[in-house]
A and B are shown apart, each in its own frame.
Chain A
Amino acid sequence: MTVTTHEIRSVIVERELAHPPEKVWRALTVPHLIEEWLMKNDFSPAVGHRFKLQGDWGGVLDCEVLAIEQNSVLSYTWNFVNDNPDFDLRSVVTFTLTPTATGTHLRMEQSGFRPEQKQALGGAKSGWQQFFGKLEHVLTQAE
């Protein structure tokens, strides 16, 4: 792969949660809880642990735990291996939890995409995926 630094992009999503970091941490690291808001998985909180996230659209993400700091930082790879470069996705997801007066500030950063990648929906639930599929179709027709 010939990915140069200027091609790396990132997505950042932040949220103020009215729950303590310990509780948010559980939701991010206990498999049956992860499944409830993200995807089916065989996650285990150990650096180097390889696991899969199974999307209900049928796709499987290959992941490896890169960093763990209890109640504070969780980082793992988020790779969707595909022969079609438009779908192939190599990225790293990092969650950072910061305690606040009212709960937790949660920050998610996903980085490592390439700009030519138009379908970076490796984790999208089918609804959004279908929607964006249609959207692209509509936009292509529109021009």
Chain B
Amino acid sequence: MNKRSPHSQDLLFRTLGDPTRRAIFERLCRDGEQTVAALTAQAGVSQPAVSKHLALLKQAGLVLDRHEGRQTHYSARRSALAPLVDWTSQMTGYWESRFNDLETLLQRIDQ
């Protein structure tokens, strides 16, 4: 059958599961290439925090960085999202998230 659970996909879900990180990524998709300073101005968190989010986005292959003088410019790599567009991947992400809640519940309830 059609079993798909590549690690890259788990990483994408984990990376985009954070709302601040997702907002940064969406902004890069919408507005194109940005510097850390420009992103910080709108992110509502500190520059070190934005840099940390960008590093994780880069690690997941979701953004590219380009150095120019002392500035680093970031841009979105939309092609990295391809695994998520397929419905099987969407449902996999859904069930992974449900199972997270199930584990939380199991830890809470009595034996």
Contact = CB atoms under 8 A, between A and B. Distances in A.
B84 A135 contact: yes
A13 B106 contact: no
A10 B1 contact: yes
B1 to A, nearest CB: 5
A115 B89 CA distance: 12
Given A17-B106, A120-B90, 4 more contacts: A10-B1, A128-B93, A136-B85, A138-B81
B89 to A, nearest CB: 8
A81 to B, nearest CB: 17
Interface of B: 1-5, 16, 22, 26, 29-30, 78, 81, 84-85, 87-88, 90-99, 101-106, 109, 111
A66 interface: no
Interface stretch (A40-48, A67-75, A106-114): A106-114
Closest 8 CB pairs of A and B: A120-B87, A37-B101, A13-B95, A37-B102, A11-B91, A142-B78, A9-B2, A19-B106
B85 A11 contact: no
A17 B103 contact: yes
Interface of A: 9-13, 15, 17, 19-20, 23-24, 26-27, 33, 36-38, 106, 108, 110-111, 113, 117-121, 123-125, 128, 131-132, 134-136, 138-139, 142
**Chain B at the A interface: mostly helix, strand, loop or mixed?**
helix
**Chain A at the B interface: mostly helix, strand, loop or mixed?**
mixed
B22 to A, nearest CB: 7
B78 A27 contact: no
A36 B101 contact: yes
A20 B3 CA distance: 26
B95 A11 contact: yes
B109 to A, nearest CB: 7
Q: Which of A9, A11, A19, A120 has most B Cβ within 10 Å?
A: A11
